[in-house]
């Protein structure tokens, strides 16, 4: 099976170059002048379009199983294809949660038949070294730690126990992605508010205070430094947290971080306007926080943009009691257009966007063959039209979550064609071919000689 994109602008080595791309049997076989490319079974005329590597979203809640009413593997990966993502990493806070090798195997088996882009799976960070190894061998791409767990008795709230789990993860050479909010503190304020009948957005913001994020960043980076673990901090939302990251980096900690489009582009004024539809954790912050995040992204201190695609039903988003609103918003179908709009306004470069949405995710999460356009890499490509204008309309989403705080916003630039392993999966609003996704697994890369990867 061969495919060719001709007369297209390609983002190569940070520059736009005119030419074409050949894909043979799922991999890029050649990049060069259109005239020099071999003939192929399928030809795409790329005039007016830009080819970038298939995007990688390292933070997606695909749900499925008992939460399939919110999203399932099929609807979530269709949303990914429509948004230009060819690989996504699924979070373990599902029902049932991905807390063991057995649960992970069940999930992978179920996903195999119904995914339309590539999917990797997180396992929940476990205390047991045996379980951690078993999950990696069953295919987990990384581990996820929820520091916002409200139960103060949870094993990972004990620094010694967490340290040993981080050490094991380091020896397995995998990332630990982390939701950085100190759960016991958040839960305490929430309980107090609930006892006093306080249930407004302002109360929600008080419970999810910026200092709880900064404190969690301090705790996890200082532990990971001690055992040389690599932590990836999810959805950073405040200037204070970014400052803690800088301090940790200066002290030699291997830490990477991500920002979401909503924390980059929205703030608490949007939250007052949109109410539950703009509730997520961590919550939207001050304008100054969003600006600081944006600066850090533009300057390369924020490594990754991830959507934190967190679908819920409309009923779950519109409860009047703020504590009953399920936090999270869909993001797979809005992330790329929102960022391309900022490229058009010259607020950031296309190259920087592609680094944050493809190159860096591939490097950080160990996905060789993904995240860049080069001969020999996987045939995962997105063609974008940088000039197309459209309004975000959540009623057209492939995701089951048909709401968005960005609804009605005019964007310039959108994905036109999404190619997975050399097959056209999505083209100009339509799904062309289904079930082309593969489950991606981590390569086990033991870092310490004492660890035996078996």
The answer to the question of residue 310 lying near ligand DOR (CB under 6 A) is yes
The answer to the question of residue 313 lying near ligand DOR (CB under 6 A) is no
Give the span between the Cα atoms of 15 and 349, in whole angstroms.
10
The answer to the question of residue 405 lying near ligand DOR (CB under 6 A) is no
109 SS3 class = helix
Alpha helices in 237-286 (DSSP H): 239-250, 261-265, 268-274
Counting Cα atoms < 13 Å in the Cβ hemisphere of 177 gives 29
x/- binding map, residues 261-280, to ligand DOR, per CB under 6 A?
A: -------------------x
The answer to the question of residue 240 lying near Zn ion (CB under 5 A) is no
Q: Which two tokens stand for residue 395?
A: 């009623």
Q: Do 171 and 445 form a contact (C-beta atoms < 8 A)?
A: no
Question: Which residue in 21, 136, 220, 281 binds ligand DOR (CB under 6 A)?
Answer: 281
The answer to the question of residue 61 lying near ligand DOR (CB under 6 A) is yes
The interface partner of residue 186, options being Zn ion, ligand DOR, none and the CB cut-off 5 to 8 Å by kind, is: none
The answer to the question of residue 57 lying near Zn ion (CB under 5 A) is no
The answer to the question of residue 79 lying near ligand DOR (CB under 6 A) is no
Query: 126: closest CA among 89, 166, 182?
Result: 166
Give the span between the Cα atoms of 148 and 145, in whole angstroms.
9
x/- binding map, residues 84-113, to ligand DOR, per CB under 6 A?
A: ---------x--------------------
- 281 vs 340, beta carbon nearer ligand DOR: 281
235 SS3 class = coil
Give the span between the Cα atoms of 139 and 33, in whole angstroms.
39
- 331 vs 437, beta carbon nearer Zn ion: 331
312 SS3 class = coil
Question: Is residue 270 annotated as a catalytic residue, yes or no?
Answer: no
The answer to the question of residue 167 lying near Zn ion (CB under 5 A) is no
- Of 14-22, 37-45, 177-185, 191-199, the window that binds Zn ion (rule: CB under 5 A) is 177-185
The b/e string for 202-240 (b: 16+ C-beta within 10 A; e otherwise) is: ebbbebbbbebbbbbbbbbbebbbebebbbbbbbbbbbb
Question: Which residue in 9, 63, 179, 372 binds Zn ion (CB under 5 A)?
Answer: 179
The answer to the question of residue 257 lying near ligand DOR (CB under 6 A) is no
Q: Which two tokens stand for residue 96?
A: 């049932």
Q: Within positions 318 to 337, which residues make up the interface with ligand DOR, using CB under 6 A?
A: 327-328
The answer to the question of residue 179 lying near ligand DOR (CB under 6 A) is yes
Question: Which residue in 71, 308, 359, 380 binds Zn ion (CB under 5 A)?
Answer: 308
Give the span between the Cα atoms of 332 and 80, in whole angstroms.
5
Query: 374: closest CA among 1, 39, 32, 57?
Result: 32
Q: Minimum distance between the CB of residue 424 and ligand DOR, rounded to whole angstroms?
A: 31
Q: Considering 64, 303, 308, 380, which one is annotated as catalytic?
A: 308
Q: Minimum distance between the CB of residue 258 and ligand DOR, rounded to whole angstroms?
A: 12
Q: Do 310 and 400 form a contact (C-beta atoms < 8 A)?
A: no
The interface partner of residue 364, options being Zn ion, ligand DOR, none and the CB cut-off 5 to 8 Å by kind, is: none
Residues noted as catalytic: 308
Q: Which residues bind Zn ion (CB under 5 A)?
A: 179, 308
Q: Which residues bind ligand DOR (CB under 6 A)?
A: 61, 93, 179, 280-281, 310, 327-328
């Amino acid at each position: 099976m061969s495919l060719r994109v001709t007369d297209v602008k390609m983002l190569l080595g940070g520059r736009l170059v005119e030419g074409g791309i050949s894909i043979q049997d799922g991999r890029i076989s050649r990049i060069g002048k259109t005239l020099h490319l071999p003939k192929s079974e399928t030809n795409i005329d790329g005039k007016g379009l830009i080819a970038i590597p298939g995007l990688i979203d390292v933070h997606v809640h695909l749900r499925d199983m008992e939460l399939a009413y919110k999203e399932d593997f099929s609807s979530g990966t269709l949303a990914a294809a429509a948004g230009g993502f060819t690989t996504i990493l699924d979070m373990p806070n599902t029902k049932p949660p991905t807390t063991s090798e057995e649960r992970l195997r069940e999930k992978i088996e179920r996903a195999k038949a119904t995914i339309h882009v590539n999917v990797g799976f997180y396992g929940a960070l476990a205390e047991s070294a045996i379980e951690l190894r078993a999950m990696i061998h069953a295919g987990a791409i990384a581990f996820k730690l929820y520091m916002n767990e409200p139960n103060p008795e949870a094993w990972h709230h004990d620094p010694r126990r967490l340290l040993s789990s981080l050490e094991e993860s380091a020896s397995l050479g995998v990332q630990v992605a982390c939701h950085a909010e100190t759960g016991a503190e958040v839960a305490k304020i929430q309980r107090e508010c609930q006892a006093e009948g306080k249930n407004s957005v302002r109360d929600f913001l008080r419970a999810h205070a910026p200092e709880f994020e900064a404190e969690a960043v301090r705790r996890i980076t200082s532990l990971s430094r001690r055992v040389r673990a690599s932590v990836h901090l999810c959805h950073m939302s405040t200037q204070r947290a970014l400052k803690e990251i800088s301090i940790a980096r200066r002290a030699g900690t291997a830490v990477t971080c991500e920002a979401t489009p909503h924390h980059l582009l929205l703030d608490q004024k949007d939250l007052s306007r949109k109410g539950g539809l703009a509730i997520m954790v961590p919550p939207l912050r001050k304008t100054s926080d969003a600006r600081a995040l944006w600066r850090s992204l533009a300057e390369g201190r924020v490594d990754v943009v991830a959507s934190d695609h967190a679908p819920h039903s409309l009923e779950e988003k519109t409860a009047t009691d703020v504590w009953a609103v399920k936090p999270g918003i869909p993001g797979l179908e809005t992330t790329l257009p929102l960022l391309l709009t900022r490229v058009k306004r010259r607020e950031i470069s296309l190259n920087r966007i592609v680094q944050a949405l493809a190159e860096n995710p591939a490097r950080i999460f160990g996905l060789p063959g993904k995240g860049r356009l080069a001969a020999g890499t996987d045939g995962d490509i997105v063609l974008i039209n940088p000039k197309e204008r459209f309004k975000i309309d959540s009623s057209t989403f492939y995701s089951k979550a048909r709401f968005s705080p960005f609804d009605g916003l005019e964007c310039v630039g959108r994905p036109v064609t999404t190619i997975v392993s050399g097959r056209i999966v999505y083209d100009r609003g339509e799904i062309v071919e289904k079930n082309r996704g593969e489950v991606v697994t981590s390569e086990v890369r033991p870092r310490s000689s004492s660890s035996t990867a078996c």
